[in-house]
A and B are shown apart, each in its own frame.
Chain A
Amino acid sequence: MSEKPLPLDGNSAAGLLSELFAVEITGASITCDGCHHAAPIGAARLYGGRMGAVFRCAHCENVVVRLVRTPEGYWLEMKGARSLFVQARGD
Chain B
Amino acid sequence: MLATEKVQPTRKLPWRTATVREIIEETPRVRSLSLDIPDWPGHRPGQHVDIRLTSDDGYQAQRSYSIASAPEAAELLVTVERIEEGEVSPYLSSEVIVGDKFELRGPIGGHFVWSAFMTEPLFLVAGGSGVAPLMAMLRHRAAAGNKNPALLVYSSRSFDDIIYRKELAALAARSDGLKVVHTLTRQQPAGWTGEKKRIDPEMLSRVGFSPKEQPRIFICGPTQLVESAARALIELGHDAGLIKTERFGPTGA
How far is B50's CA from A15's CA once the two chains are assembled, in angstroms? Answer: 7
Partner of A19, one of B10, B246, B247: B10
Known A-B contacts: A14-B110, A50-B251. Give 4 more (CB < 8 A). Answer: A14-B109, A15-B105, A19-B9, A42-B110
Q: How far is the CB of B137 from chain A (nearest CB, A)?
A: 15
Cβ of B9 and Cβ of A42 under 8 Å apart?
no
Cβ of B250 and Cβ of A3 under 8 Å apart?
yes
Chain A contacts of B166 at CB under 8 A? none
Size of the A side of the interface (Cβ < 8 Å), in residues, is: 32
Of A20-28, A60-68, A77-85, the one touching chain B: A20-28
Chain B contacts of A24 at CB under 8 A? 109-110
Chain B contacts of A14 at CB under 8 A? 48, 108-111
Cβ of B64 and Cβ of A49 under 8 Å apart?
no
Size of the B side of the interface (Cβ < 8 Å), in residues, is: 29
Look across to chain A and name the residue whose beta carbon is closest to the beta carbon of B223.
A6
Say whether chain A's binding surface is mostly helix, strand, loop, or mixed.
Answer: mixed
B194 at interface by CB-CB < 8 Å: no
Cβ of A73 and Cβ of B6 under 8 Å apart?
yes
How far is B248's CA from A4's CA once the two chains are assembled, in angstroms? Answer: 12
Cβ of A10 and Cβ of B105 under 8 Å apart?
no
Cβ of A40 and Cβ of B111 under 8 Å apart?
yes
- Smallest CB-CB A-B distances: 8 pairs: A49-B252, A42-B111, A24-B110, A27-B110, A14-B109, A3-B250, A6-B223, A26-B111
How far is B47's CA from A27's CA once the two chains are assembled, in angstroms? Answer: 12
Q: How far is the CB of A58 from chain B (nearest CB, A)?
A: 9
Interface bits B224-253 vs A (CB < 8 Å: 1, else 0): 100000000000000001001111011111
Interface bits A12-42 vs B (CB < 8 Å: 1, else 0): 1011001110101111000000000001111
Chain A contacts of B241 at CB under 8 A? 39
A20-B7, A50-B252 in contact; A6/B247 too (CB < 8 A)? yes
Look across to chain A and name the residue whose beta carbon is closest to the beta carbon of B112.
A11
Q: Which of B21-36 contact A (CB under 8 A)?
A: none
Look across to chain A and name the residue whose beta carbon is closest to the beta carbon of B219.
A9
How far is B44's CA from A27's CA once the two chains are assembled, in angstroms? Answer: 13
